[in-house]
Amino acid sequence: MNLSLIRSMTRSAVFELENGKCFRPEHPFTVALNGKTIYESCNTNVFSLFSLTPSTSYTVEVDAEGEHLKLDFTTEAESFFVDASRYGLVADGETDNTVRLQAALSTCPKGGTVYVPAGRYRTSSLFMKSCTTLYLEKGAVLLGDNDRTHYPILPGVLPSENEVDEYYLTGWEGNPLNSFAGLLNITQVHDVVVTGEGTLDCDAQNGDWWVNPKVKRIAWRPRAVAMVDSENVCLHGITVQNSYSWTIHPIFVKHLDLLNFNI
């Protein structure tokens, strides 16, 4: 039996108990961090730790089936901490927070983390920036806008100046057709991490997205997480639910980590 680090990020990390079993261990095990018990009865081989401090060394210990395993690891460095609540967020589940959240994401310096505290934040499409982390705290919910007219429309194809090359931006069922931007968009960026114990909830069941879903209305339906032409992308820990169409939709994405998260 072996304990391995899958990936360490600025404020979270994910591990695997290598025990020869598929997904679940034969018996639950305990997990401790720096001597403090985090999970008394962990029942999945892959588990995560959250609310860590950047550039900090930790020791994780596992007691499983009579074996005591120990592993030292260090979290990644963080240049700046961007608390999105300072941008005027309103956590009532009704107020439109799109421009406030996007301001936090867009002004985050290289190597920084945008932190969203617990609360329900109504929003439409958000766009990630290269070399940044989005951390959704436990209890933080990015709640999709129910009005499709509030979402930007992305052209399926962008023409180039030479009138020969084309840039594929979005599409529908394999065709480059105009579609609404997703709730979270990771487009033409690199080194992006979305992590935490929070939730991306498109809330599509409370809009008209699933009424005659094969009929185009203004544009084709968005995705929950839309990724296009990007590299070194990681989704970890979060829950993604109630999508408008496809939930996780990568196109031309290199080095994509999907780690211990829920759909």
Instruction: List the CATH number of the domain containing 104.
Output: 2.160.20.10
pTM above 0.75, yes or no: yes
Segments of the chain scoring below 50 in pLDDT: none
Query: Using an 8 Å Cβ cutoff, are 105 and 132 in contact?
Result: yes
What's the pLDDT at 178? Answer: 96
Question: What share of the chain has pLDDT > 90, as a percent?
Answer: 95
| Distances, alpha carbon 88 to alpha carbons 84, 146, 246, in Å | 8, 21, 31
Query: Using an 8 Å Cβ cutoff, are 141 and 202 in contact?
Result: no
What's the pLDDT at 256? Answer: 99
Which 3 state secondary structure label does DSSP give 209? coil
Secondary structure (H, E, C), 102-126: HHHHHHCCCCEEEEECCEEEEECCE
- Same domain for 101 and 132, yes or no, is yes
> Of 41, 74, 107, which residue sits at a domain end?
74
What's the pLDDT at 167? Answer: 86
Structure tokens at 141: 């919910």
- Same domain for 188 and 206, yes or no, is yes
- Same domain for 100 and 18, yes or no, is no
- Same domain for 181 and 251, yes or no, is yes
What's the pLDDT at 60? Answer: 99
> Of 13, 48, 74, which residue sits at a domain end?
74
What's the pLDDT at 89? Answer: 98
Structure tokens at 201: 């909830």
What's the pLDDT at 146? Answer: 97
> Of 17, 50, 74, which residue sits at a domain end?
74
Residue 124, CB half-sphere, CA atoms under 13 Å: how many? 15
- Angle made by CA atoms 53, 144, 240, in degrees to the nearest 5: 55
Q: How many domains does the chain have?
A: 2
Structure tokens at 256: 């994509």
- Same domain for 118 and 238, yes or no, is yes
Structure tokens at 138: 């436990």
What's the pLDDT at 163? Answer: 75
- Same domain for 118 and 196, yes or no, is yes
What's the pLDDT at 59? Answer: 99
What's the pLDDT at 41? Answer: 97
What's the pLDDT at 245? Answer: 98
- Same domain for 68 and 86, yes or no, is no
Strands 157-159 and 190-196: what pairing?
unpaired
What's the pLDDT at 79? Answer: 99
Query: Using an 8 Å Cβ cutoff, are 245 and 221 in contact?
Result: yes
- Same domain for 254 and 136, yes or no, is yes
- Same domain for 85 and 135, yes or no, is yes
- Same domain for 165 and 37, yes or no, is no
Helix ranges, the chain (H): 98-107
- Same domain for 115 and 57, yes or no, is no
Look up the domain containing 153 and give its range: 81-259
- Same domain for 133 and 223, yes or no, is yes
Residue type, 130: S
